[in-house]
Structure 1
Amino acid sequence: MKYINAVKEILHQITYILTYKQKRAFYGLFIITLIGSLLEMLGIYVILPFIQAVMSPETLLNSGFTGLMAEILHISDSEKMLILMGGFVVSVYILMNVFLIFVEYRQNKFKCDFKKELSVKMLQTYMKRPYTYFINTNSARILKGVESDVDGVYAIFDNGFRLIAELTTSVFIGIFLVYIDPIMAVGILFIAIVTMLIILFGFKGHLVRLGHQQRELSMQLGKKAGQAIWGYKEIKVMQRADNFIETYEKSAENARKINISFNFMSALPEKIISVVCISGMIVLVCIRLLMEGDMASFIPKLAVFAVAAFRIIPAISRISVRINSILFYRPYLAATYENVTEVREYEKQQDKYKIDNSVDENVVKITLLTGDKYSFKKELKVDNVWWKYDNAENAVLKNLSMTIHKGESVGFIGASGAGKTTLADVILGLMRPQEGQVFIDGIDVYTIPKQWSRIIGYVPQVVYLTDESIKNNVAFGIPDNEIDEAMIWNALEQAQLKTFVEQLPEKLETRVGERGVKFSGGQRQRVAIARALYCNPEILVLDEATSALDNETEKAVMESIDVLQGKKTLIIVAHRLSTIMNCDSVYEIKDGRACKREKKDILKSNG
């Protein structure tokens, strides 16, 4: 019963992941696979009359179908008719294998198309998840979901298609053998199936356990390698490379042991079933001969059984191998299914929120649009916002409210952990509060995420730069053929980086290195500011954007930001009081609330 439930669960998870188009393609492949199996049975079937003809050629001219063909073709020589029949058998095998090659090609195309589409789909599902998911989840686990889990699901499909082919072929050939000689066929099939079931039930639990361990170790290997590579500079300085190599090697050793066990258990069933079936077949042949005693009449059947055994015994052996592989990769399918399910549920919640807090589309257009450009008219309002992190005892933001007017520059100050960055993330739309709302000109920003993304820009504390050109890093995520270089230069000028870039030999095509290692801290921060300004947002959020810089570099970067005073609405999360000196308003985030403070009082209290 457990085995049946496991099969049902696997089928449910697969059909849930597959799109309608993929399901249609799958059903089509199933049909041509059945046809291929029928052709393989036909290949076995044509052997019997050919062997009978070889043993008694004279019967060819007088028996049913061959006699009719001889009369139509005016053939009176039994040897010529035998050659013709041999040519027919060869033609059947050629056509059969041409069709089977076609089936193999279609199956392979479907699997590769599915793997690509699923990989893209998995990345899409992760990108649709809330920001809090990325806060709580290791990047190695996410990469595993996009890469290794997809490989595991692909392996299930690969083994699944081959299982269907082997199973249907075995069933059709088995039915034909029962028709030829019921006693011998049933005996051989009974021995093979019982042996296979014993192996499957014996290995099932161990294989599923190995699959879970392998998936976890695969993630650990990626995590350990990433830590060693991303922390190379510190590791080199502290001379701790051996420690990282050792921890990686431990995980690799455990993975090696699992792979050995899985590969051995995958190969073992085929050998056992082959030995048992061949031995059983020989015993049954001997018994059959003793029962009949007529060797001449039994030889054609024996020849057919020999050809069938050549195909069916390996097929039955591979059935167990395919099922074992599916069991091993089942945790990968379960993880993929869980990820897709969670994201679809999250999307439903998002859609429900938009419906519950919907606004008239005409109001959105009138309020936010000026021609084709989204526009911020009056004020940004944070209204009674509450936010509490998962598993945290207390809320970070409690009934917090504030109003920021267009063109105003506002600073957030407060102790570490007070909720400054959390408030900034709520305003950015990264985290929807459990209670309360954020409005722009009276419209809830969470109901218009695309419009909001065009109005607001963001400069983080830790800048993420890709190992590409300055141009690609400023126009982050925009295809090359859609990048406007005039806008790039304008953003660089506002970030006070234009002169520096103009002096570089390759100018905008200069590569910044992975994570911007070829640039200084101040230059990286200016690239981040230029990135935020590229699409000319009307609101700019700077989350401790200069905290990692020394005083002199911070002063230079702040000059770039101060130039934007009055031109942009600025929200500055401060780590030093020097970064809020030119702000129009300052809010202290304390005990989950925002208290407006006078700058002179802040400076006085800090000596």
Structure 2
Amino acid sequence: MAWSCFGEVANLLANERLSGLAWPLAKLSRTERPLSRTPSSAASSFSANAGLRRAARWLRFPPGFGILFDSPTRWRLLLCVVGAVSTALLDMVGVSALVPLMQLLTDQPRDSGALGLISPVLGNAVSDTQLAIVISAVMTGAFVLKSAVSISFQWWQRGFLAEQETNTSARLLTGYLGAPYAMFLRRGTGEFMRTLNEAVSATYGSVVTSSLNVLAESATLIGLAAVMVVASPVAALAALVWFGLGSFVLQRALSQRSRQLGRLSLEQGLRTFHAVVHPVGGAKEIMLRHRAQVFVDELKEARRASARTGLQQSFLSDLPKHIMELLFVTGLAATTVLIFALDPSGNALVTLALFVACATRMLPSLVRITTATNAVRYGMPSTELVVADLHEFTTPLAPAPGHHFPPGDIRVEDVTFTYPASTSPALEDFSIDIPWGTTLAVVGPSGSGKSTFVDVLMGLHSPQSGRITVAGVNVRDDLAAWQSGIGMVPQDVWWVSDTLAANIAFGVPPEERDQKRLLSAVSRAQLTDVVEALPQGLDTMLGERGSRLSGGQRQRVGIARALYEEPTLLVFDEATSALDNLTEHRVTQTLNALHGQTTLVVVAHRLSTVVGCDQLVYVEDGRIAAQGTFEEVRQVSPEFARLVELGSLEAWEGSDDA
């Protein structure tokens, strides 16, 4: 078990191209979420001597290190090795100093054993007392220096790993935000939270840190074992076989269960997250229906299962200490008999004292190695999640463009789009021309493809066939510039826990906000009265999900956010569905005022907002069923005509696409 972590560090220092990740990739290919691509060469380009490469291929090691650390940071891992070896050498010096000291205490000749090496250096005129003082000072100094080095090394190592943990979370979030938008439709919030928080923390807290701890403790064990072998080879080998065999059997017995508990912990963490989020998000309905006890019971069961898993892991972490203490007592007794049987002279007492000192120092290391190895196994499922996502989501974030896409007529040509998990297209042969400065209304039943169309139009989905052009230029040629010129007002406005100004100038640092544009957006979104009523105006903290505002006010903030960007294309996706009649009328006036200044696409829920649109398309099953002005579509589409007669679209269930 200890050697596996030596193999990992050896691999990190020795791998070339993909060789360092061959084993992790093979391991991950057997998990629930296999890797979809090979790692980049930048993540595994470090090389060293052939001996380390051979060791890396031969030894097993925890997966994930090769992608978690890039080439520059692997040099810092080398410092971890240096720190571990330095601490082990100081341990060896301190314990070895016990041999000549015991020789002095047992009145052995000064020209024998270790004393025979030290005495000529200090001179024969030095008395036994003076020699004992010198040896004791060396031993004390070695242990003091070892403690200082160990403390400093641990402080540096923990800071280094904390930095890497932060960087890994940032790399994951960068990869997620650079991934296709459809990925966010497949995964739930809980999965992202689990990977970014729990899985990353477990990767560094359990796998990486514990692996480095095994490395450090193993270096100490090897050094002390070398001292024992020099003192009494037969007794040392017997003791090492005894402890090694016991540790191996113990590790084999615990490793599989630790890994299972690690996987359970991830699943239960996700279950607990949902058990908390669901009742908090639905508190109003839960209170009205008096169903709180159901959700309380769900949380209790989730926490109980999590506590059981934690209890078992805690027990497995403590068990090695008691087993190793038993092995220590029995092994020491047997070694004592063996030492006196091999050397009945006075040297046996010196050897025994050395063995006791070494064993006393080795016991905590053995316990820590076994405990740390269990922690590595426990954290493996988390590491597999993190490593799989680091490999899958590698697209870097596109830099913010310094310009908008030039305005012009929009042409959607034969666009077909199918969601990854679907077999039937959400849009099929969808074609429409949208002249610059006009307003297009998109209506249709739930699941017809309205929101999918605007998502494709905004470049959030890449169609399997067809294209979208502006003034004859494909928007995919400069997608970032195209998207930077789009303002979107969704049905449910997303909030950050910050000021009203921060939610309007979304993602813009305070020092870069344009106050003139901010006030203009507030005015055009009919939000001035709301700002004036707030105690601190635009600087008022709104709380989570904008809880201080009404539903209609929150949607007006969404409109102001879209207008702040001064877009060339403004998309309203059911944006007026929660507005009162007066506010809706004002917003409609705002839309009318924008006519000719920007292109508007309105996904409509209420017909009153689209009566005056330049053109209207009625969408069914991902196709345009009717197209023209409001009156023209009413004449040719019985379904739309019926909705006009009803006077609203309340018969539909929103705009969610299948």
Q: Which has the higher helix share?
A: 1
Match of 2:561 among 501, 522, 531: 531
How do 1:33-52 residues align onto structure 2 when only pairs under 5 Å count? 33-52=84-103
CA distance in structure 2 between the aligned counterparts of 1:194 and 1:133, rounded to whole angstroms: 48
Cross-structure match for 1:302: 352
Cα shift readout 1:39-94 (whole Å, capped 9, x = no counterpart): 222222121112212333872899555333434xx954332232222222211222
Cross-structure match for 2:288: 237
Residue 519 (1) aligns with residue 549 (2): yes
Residue 112 (1) aligns with residue 150 (2): no
* Cα displacement (A) at 1:531: 0.5
How do 1:23-102 residues align onto structure 2 when only pairs under 5 Å count? 23-56=74-107, 59=110, 64-71=116-123, 76-102=126-152
Match of 2:238 among 159, 178, 187: 187
Cross-structure match for 2:11: none
CA 1:6 to 1:400, structure 2 compared with 1: closer, same or farther past 3 Å? closer
Residue 220 (1) aligns with residue 251 (2): no
Which one-letter code corresponds to 2:118 in the other structure?
T
How do 1:410-425 residues align onto structure 2 when only pairs under 5 Å count? 410-425=440-455
Which one-letter code corresponds to 1:189 in the other structure?
L
2:332–2:356 CA contact under 8 A, matched in 1 = no
* Cα displacement (A) at 1:392: 2.4
Cα shift readout 1:24-45 (whole Å, capped 9, x = no counterpart): 2112222222222222222221
1:376–1:406 CA contact under 8 A, matched in 2 = no
Residue 557 (1) aligns with residue 608 (2): no
CA distance in structure 1 between the aligned counterparts of 2:517 and 2:609, rounded to whole angstroms: 27
Helix, strand or coil for the counterpart of 1:303? helix
Residue 487 (1) aligns with residue 539 (2): no
1:540–1:570 CA contact under 8 A, matched in 2 = yes
Match of 2:526 among 476, 493, 496: 496
Match of 2:476 among 422, 426, 446: 446
Cross-structure match for 1:201: 252
Q: 5+ residue gaps in structure 1?
A: 352-368
CA distance in structure 2 between the aligned counterparts of 1:283 and 1:546, rounded to whole angstroms: 84
Which one-letter code corresponds to 2:472 in the other structure?
G
CA distance in structure 2 between the aligned counterparts of 1:433 and 1:179, rounded to whole angstroms: 72
Which one-letter code corresponds to 1:31 in the other structure?
V
* Cα displacement (A) at 1:257: 0.9
* Cα displacement (A) at 1:139: 0.5
Deviates more, 1:12-21 or 1:189-198: 12-21
Cα shift readout 1:539-584 (whole Å, capped 9, x = no counterpart): 1011111123344443333233332222221010111221111211
Residue 318 (1) aligns with residue 349 (2): no
CA 1:63 to 1:269, structure 2 compared with 1: closer, same or farther past 3 Å? closer
Cross-structure match for 1:473: 503
* Cα displacement (A) at 1:462: 0.7
CA 1:434 to 1:442, structure 2 compared with 1: closer, same or farther past 3 Å? same
Residue 134 (1) aligns with residue 184 (2): yes
Deviates more, 1:153-162 or 1:493-502: 493-502
1:542–1:571 CA contact under 8 A, matched in 2 = yes
Cα shift readout 1:350-381 (whole Å, capped 9, x = no counterpart): 99xxxxxxxxxxxxxxxxx9xx6435332122
CA distance in structure 1 between the aligned counterparts of 2:388 and 2:151, rounded to whole angstroms: 35
1:522–1:554 CA contact under 8 A, matched in 2 = no
TM-score, normalised to structure 1, is 0.90
Helix, strand or coil for the counterpart of 2:596? coil
Residue 569 (1) aligns with residue 599 (2): yes
How do 1:146-295 residues align onto structure 2 when only pairs under 5 Å count? 146-154=196-204, 155-294=206-345
Residue 599 (1) aligns with residue 630 (2): yes
How do 1:421-432 residues align onto structure 2 when only pairs under 5 Å count? 421-432=451-462
CA distance in structure 2 between the aligned counterparts of 1:41 and 1:443, rounded to whole angstroms: 72
CA 1:375 to 1:141, structure 2 compared with 1: closer, same or farther past 3 Å? closer
1:588–1:597 CA contact under 8 A, matched in 2 = no
How many residues align? The count is 581
1:411–1:571 CA contact under 8 A, matched in 2 = yes
CA distance in structure 1 between the aligned counterparts of 2:289 and 2:523, rounded to whole angstroms: 40
Deviates more, 1:499-508 or 1:42-51: 499-508
2:269–2:306 CA contact under 8 A, matched in 1 = yes
Which one-letter code corresponds to 2:268 in the other structure?
L
Q: 5+ residue gaps in structure 2?
A: 8-22, 28-60, 636-640, 646-658
2:104–2:128 CA contact under 8 A, matched in 1 = no
How do 1:2-13 residues align onto structure 2 when only pairs under 5 Å count? 9=27, 11-13=62-64
RMSD: 2.5
Deviates more, 1:303-312 or 1:282-291: 282-291
Cross-structure match for 2:50: none
Deviates more, 1:550-559 or 1:260-269: 550-559
Which one-letter code corresponds to 1:335 in the other structure?
L
1:149–1:333 CA contact under 8 A, matched in 2 = yes
Cross-structure match for 2:656: none
- Percent same amino acid among aligned pairs? 26
* Cα displacement (A) at 1:283: 1.8
TM-score, normalised to structure 2, is 0.84
CA distance in structure 1 between the aligned counterparts of 2:272 and 2:608, rounded to whole angstroms: 44
* Cα displacement (A) at 1:166: 1.1
Helix, strand or coil for the counterpart of 1:59? coil
